[in-house]
Amino acid sequence: MIKWYLNNWWKVMAQPIYFYTKLKEESWQEKPLTFLLISSWILAFLMAAAIFIIQYLPIGTTLVEGIRGFKFILILPVLLTLAFVFFLITFFILGGALALGLGIGFYLVGWVLHYIYLFLGGRGYLGRMIQSVYYSSAVVLAGIFPVIFSILTRYGALDFSLFRVGYNLIYALTLLYVYGLWAVAGRKVYQVSRGRAFLGALVPIIFLLLFGYLFDKMFLFKLEPWITPLK
C-alpha cells in the first residue's frame, strides 16, 4: 500500500499529464478515496508531531523540572506512556478532521468542476471527475512546510512575520499547482480545449484564494501565541 501510494504521489506531482492520460476509470470510493485518506493521515501525523514538539514537550519539561537521578528513572515509564497517549489522541482527532474535511472539500471541487465543464461544452462523468480530483489531494503534503515553519518559529529560528510570509507563499504555490492538476484532469475527462480547461479550473481556485485571504486576515494571527517562543 505504501509503495502504491508513493508511486502514484510521485506521478501526480512530477508527471501529472502522463498520470491523468494513463489513469483508467475506477470507482472514486475505492483507490482514489484511499489515496486521499492516506494523504490526510500523513499530514495529520506531521501536524500532531509539531503540536507535540511545540506544546506538549515544553509542558512536560516543566513537570519534571528539578527531578534527577533515580527518581527520574522511576517516573520515566509514566512520562513516556502519557506522551504516547497525548500524541495518539491528537493524531486521531486531527486525522479524523482532515479526512472528513478534505474528503468533503475535494468532492465538492469535483462536483463544481463537473458542471462547469458541462457548461463549457464538455462531455464526461461526475464519478470520473471526482476520481481525478481525489488524486490531486497529493498536494496537501505541501502542508509539511508550514509545519516545519511553525517549529522553527517556536524555537526562535523564525519570527512570526516570516512564518506568515512562508505560510502564504506555500499556500499560493500549492493553489497554483493544483490549478494545473485540475485543468489537466478537466481536459482529459471532458475533452475540452486547453483554454476551456484552465478557465473551468479557475472557478474553485478563485474561491480558495478568497478563503486563504480571509484566513490570513482573520485567523492566522491567532496562532502567534501558540507558536512563538515562551516568554
Element (H, E) at 227: helix 224-227
> Could you tell me the pLDDT band of residue 46, with boundaries at 50, 70 and 90?
very high
CA-closest candidate to residue 130, choices 173, 186, 193:
186
Averaged pLDDT, 62-75 = 72
pLDDT at 146: 94
DSSP annotation of 219 reads T
Q: Please list the helix, strand and coil fractions of the chain in percent, rounded to the nearest 5, in that order.
A: 85, 0, 15
Averaged over 140-157, what is the pLDDT?
92
> Nearest CA to 164 among 228, 87, 229?
228
Distances from the Cα of 83 to the Cα of 43, 53, 61, 88, 131, angstroms: 20, 11, 11, 9, 38
Q: What is the mean pLDDT of residues 64-90?
A: 80
pLDDT category of residue 14 using cuts at 50, 70 and 90: very high
Q: What average pLDDT does range 32-52 have in this prediction?
A: 95
Cα gap 135→35, rounded to integer Å: 7
CB of 142 closer than 8 Å to CB of 169: no
Cβ atoms 124, 191 nearer than 8 A: yes
Distance from chain centroid for Cα 43: 6
Q: How far is CA 15 from the centre of its chain?
A: 20
**pLDDT attached to residue 49:** 93
pLDDT (average), residues 92-103: 95
The per-residue pLDDT of the chain, averaged, comes to: 90
In this prediction the pTM is: 0.89
Closest CA to 182 of 73, 100, 108: 108
d(CA 216, CA 122): 36
- Residue closest to 173 by CA, chosen among 6, 44, 11, 13: 13
- Residues 154 and 221: beta-carbon distance below 8 Å: no
Percentage of the chain lying above the pLDDT 70 cut: 97
pLDDT level of residue 230 (50, 70, 90 thresholds) = low
44-53, 65-74, 95-104, 211-220 — which is least confidently predicted? 65-74
Cell numbers given for 5? 501510494
